[in-house]
Structure 1
Amino acid sequence: MPRYGGATLADVLPGAASALGVPVRRSDLPVDPLDLTSALAGARRVAVLLVDGLGAELVAAHPRQAPVLNALGSPVGTLSAPCPSTTPVSLVTLGTGLPPGSHGVLGFVTEVPGEGRTLNHVHWGDDPDPLQWQAAPTVFEQATAAGVSCTVVAPHTFAGSGLTRAAYRGADYASAFSPGDLVAGMHAALRTGRRSLVYGYTAELDLTGHVRGLDSPSWRAQLGIVDRLVEQLAEGLPDDAVLLVTADHGMVDVPDDTRLDIGEEPALTDGVRLLAGEPRARYVHAEPGAADDVLAAWRAVLGHRAWVVSRAEAVESGVFGAVDPALADRIGDVVALARGSWAFTDAQQDPVGSMLAAYHGSLTPAELTIPLLAVRGRALD
């Protein structure tokens, strides 16, 4: 289980902002449980690079492809991604400093309650309104109000998206068109203002893993490119800056013999009104009055292959952190989180997503464990 308020991705930006003198508010969570205020002491500029898909286990398993990453120290050891361990959930968790149950982006795809439709948070525009769907203030808003110059450097295609506004509002958005542009943009943003907080995002490692698999020459080559990107960022750091490198989740390869197509199992569709989530983190919304039967069927069919619980059981477990009652309906009546390398695809509804080589979203160490690495500017060594 993620330890929200202890050592998760949610704790990174609040700690970094606190180190810059920002009075961060995090509801009832401690402001800086990682003690980044001490670890970043003296820094006037902090950069956080999030590498999509860079699980801590994957870094450690590839020292030859990632010598720079493996040589970096960590101020706190590894962290946990939130649950579900998937990109939109993690990015909003990072940006708000809150668990998913508090900010409301609770899955890759979730139901829009009362409307009988789903929201894919990666393809989100302005419906529903991002400021209402995710109403919690971001760390960037709080840092900007405290006089810190805040910049997000990320792909130009994400500028103005619903997910960008939900996760990063309060920061200036600088479009990056390539890895080199990302490096240059982060370096330039770090030099703005008397204090600066800069966030950078790169997606290609995750995409390569999904399409080619983790045990592929393509993925290993892409990891080497990420390693060089981090090296370039470190080389150009201002003397009074610190670079933190983290991730949103890890990944697991899913072979053919640990895939189950939901559409080919009639017991998994009986009484189901709407299927959301993704192959390793399913939300199942039942027809009125059918929730208990659907739960029993999913438990019977999936058996050891998943942790299958009711919404109430999932909320009670703390896997999403404290869940705002107004947001709970975004979670399915039934929650199925895959064990091992299992994935529960749906070729009829999502043919492309069902053909991927690797996935994430569940609670295995390979998916949840993420790095937090640090490089300090020369004046701080």
Structure 2
Amino acid sequence: MSVESPLIPVYGKSTLADVVPSLAASLGVDGWADALALPRSDRWVILLVDGLGALNLAAAAEEAPFLMSLVAGDASTTVTSGAPSTTATSITCLGTGLAPGQHGIVGYAFRNPVEGGYLNALTWAPGLSALDVQPRLTAFERLVRQGVSITSVSPARFAGTGLTEAALRGARFQPVPDEEDHSARITWTADGASEGDKALVYLYERSLDHTGHGVGWRTPAWRAALRRIDALARDLRAALPDDVRLLVTGDHGMIDSPRDRWIVAEDVPGLTDDLTLLAGEGRFRQLYCEPRHADAVAARWSAALGERAWVVRREEAAASGWFGPVDRRMAERYGEVLVALRDDWAVMTRTQPKEFGLVGMHGSLTEFEMRVPVLVG
């Protein structure tokens, strides 16, 4: 993994936020940018494999013969996630067609823009409306208004959750009670793809990410999960009519961070001084403080971490394009100081003890975490 410079997304050309607009253009819907030059079709299925990084896939190519056969296709390519490279941000980029600085789901955990305090974007907060956090029309909502049938085939427990509503509202939700029932998922996906004159189906698969978080991606268990997903993609393609195109992508890649590469924030004298909130995740920390303390906090973290991290002020990250154009209403959701870890380092915090059970991680701006495949079949 390169540690020379962060991989900055090129929004509008080659990110997850460009996938659905390009699909809309392929569907022949007016007013959408075709950044990825996808082949023309009136029916598409997106298989989103959580944790499927392009470099992770290439390193385990023998486990995924079907996916690798798509890699060689003329329409396939590689894009990046948005920043940070984490599920909540990435899925919202995909479902809205917007860069993070526009949709405002700015990480795994960030400052609650309504009530203050800590907001976990995956578990959400009781009583918090998705519209209060992400008020922009999603790409799915816009496409439904333009006559496209949209279906989301996702775990039943995600129905009506904050992230689902923020990122994917507009789609008809098809609940999946048993995620291991691949046959049922394939049937529901094929049914959704046959609806209306134009159709788009989103199918979510999360086992690869869960396995990587638990035991690491360089393990037999992760490879076994990849084999199962390859079979799912192969069987899905076989079950879809010829006029339906399949697009397989990921929301981020993954690195394994060993415990001897963990820096526990509370164990470094002075490191948490002046902080009002420590959010983000191990590979991408967001540091909140009074603006008058931001320079001191940045200097303190930069001195402590050295070449193990990119430590930048929020304004510097925004000016460098990390988040795309930043809506002024969304800017203060980001920490005053941002810490993106290099190589396989991680910053842990005792305020989030569940993090100490992780092996595989993501969130930073390295190639392994940022690059994801777009495979067309």
TM-score by length of 2: 0.94
Contact 1:96 1:137 in 2 (8 A): yes
Residue 299, structure 1, aligned to residue 302, structure 2: yes
Residue 333 of structure 2 corresponds to residue 330 of structure 1: yes
CA contact (8 A) 1:267 1:301 kept: no
1:312 CA displacement: 0.9
CA contact (8 A) 1:295 1:309 kept: yes
Is 1:11 the counterpart of 2:18 in the alignment? yes
After TM superposition, list the pairs within 5 Å mapping 1:193-342 onto structure 2.
Answer: 193-287=196-290, 289-342=292-345
**Contact 1:65–1:223 at 8 Å: present in 2 too?**
yes
Q: Distance in 2 between matches of 1:287 and 1:354?
A: 28
Question: Hey, what does 2:63 align to over in structure 1?
Answer: 65
1:54 paired to 2:52: yes
Deviation per residue, 1:283-321 (Å, 9 max, x gap): 000146322211110111011011001111111111000
1:334-354 alpha-carbon deviations (Å, 9 max, x no partner): 0000000011011x2111212
> SS of 2:82's equivalent?
coil
With normalisation by structure 1, the TM-score equals 0.93
User: Given that residues 34 and 76 in structure 1 are in contact (C-alpha distance below 8 angstroms), is that contact kept between their aligned partners in structure 2?
Assistant: no
Aligned-pair identity in percent equals: 44
What is the SS of the residue equivalent to 1:199? Answer: strand
Query: For the Cα contact (< 8 Å) 1:126–1:161, is it kept in 2?
Result: no
User: Offset of 1:113 from its aligned partner?
Assistant: 3.9
Number of the residue aligned with 1:124: 124
User: Structure 1 residues 44, 79: CA separation in 2 closer, same or farther (over 3 Å shift)?
Assistant: same
Match of 2:27 among 17, 20, 36: 20
SS in 1 for 2:286: strand
Give, in angstroms, the shift of residue 76 of structure 1.
4.5
Question: Within 1, Cα distance between the matches of 2:135 and 2:242?
Answer: 36
CA distance in 2 between counterparts of 1:114 and 1:308 reads 27
Confirm or deny: 8 A CA contact 1:45 1:242 kept in the other structure: yes
Q: Show the counterpart of 2:4.
A: none
SS at 2:263 equivalent: strand
Question: Structure 1: which 4+ aligned runs deviate by more than 4 Å?
Answer: none
1:22–1:142: 8 Å Cα contact kept in structure 2?
Answer: no
CA distance in 1, matches of 2:74, 2:80: 14
In structure 2, the residue matched to 1:155 is 155
Superposition deviation, residue 279 in structure 1: 0.5
* Structure 1 residues 74 and 247, CA gap change in structure 2 (3 angstroms): farther
Amino acid at match of 1:49: L
Q: 78-87 or 259-268, which moves further after superposition?
A: 259-268
Q: Unpaired segments of 5 or more residues in structure 2?
A: 1-7
Give the match for residue 183 of structure 1: 186
Cα pair distance change 1:114/1:234, threshold 3 Å? closer
2:263–2:348 Cα contact (<8 Å) kept: yes
CA contact (8 A) 2:119 2:125 kept: no
Aligned residue in 1 for 2:96: 96
In the alignment, what sits opposite 2:370? 368
1:3 aligns to what SS in structure 2? coil
What letter corresponds to residue 175 of structure 2 in structure 1?
A: S
Q: Give deviations 1:184-204, integer Å, cap 9, x for gaps.
A: 211111111121111111111
Asked whether the 8 Å contact 2:256–2:344 carries over to 1, the reply is yes
Asked whether the equivalents of residues 144 and 170 of structure 1 are also in contact (C-alpha less than 8 Å), the reply is yes
Letter in 2 for 1:313: E
Equivalent residue of 2:331, what SS? helix
- Decide whether the 8 Å contact of 2:113 with 2:133 is kept in 1: no
SS in 2 for 1:303: helix
Q: Secondary structure at the match of 1:372?
A: strand
Give the residue type in structure 2 aligned to 1:157.
R
Q: CA deviation at 1:4?
A: 0.4
- TM superposition shift of 1:272: 0.9
Q: Distance in 2 between matches of 1:288 and 1:147?
A: 47
- The equivalences for 1:107-118 within 5 A come to 107-113=107-113, 115-118=115-118
1-structure distance, mates of 2:189, 2:116: 41
Distance 1:184 1:208 in 2: 25
CA distance in 1, matches of 2:57, 2:25: 28
- Give the Cα–Cα distance (whole angstroms) in 1 for the partners of residues 247 and 126 of structure 2: 31
Shift of 1:24: 4.1
Q: 1:125/1:194 Cα in 2 relative to 1: closer, same or farther (>3 Å)?
A: farther
Distance across 2 between alignment mates of 1:159 and 1:131: 16
Preserved contact between residue 74 and residue 372 of structure 1 (Cα < 8 Å): no
SS of aligned partner of 2:29: coil
More deviation in 90-99 or 251-260? 251-260
* Aligned-partner Cα distance in 2 for 1:121–1:24: 30
**Bigger shift: residues 288-297 or 357-366:** 288-297
- 1:127 Cα deviation (Å)? 3.9
SS in 2 for 1:290: helix
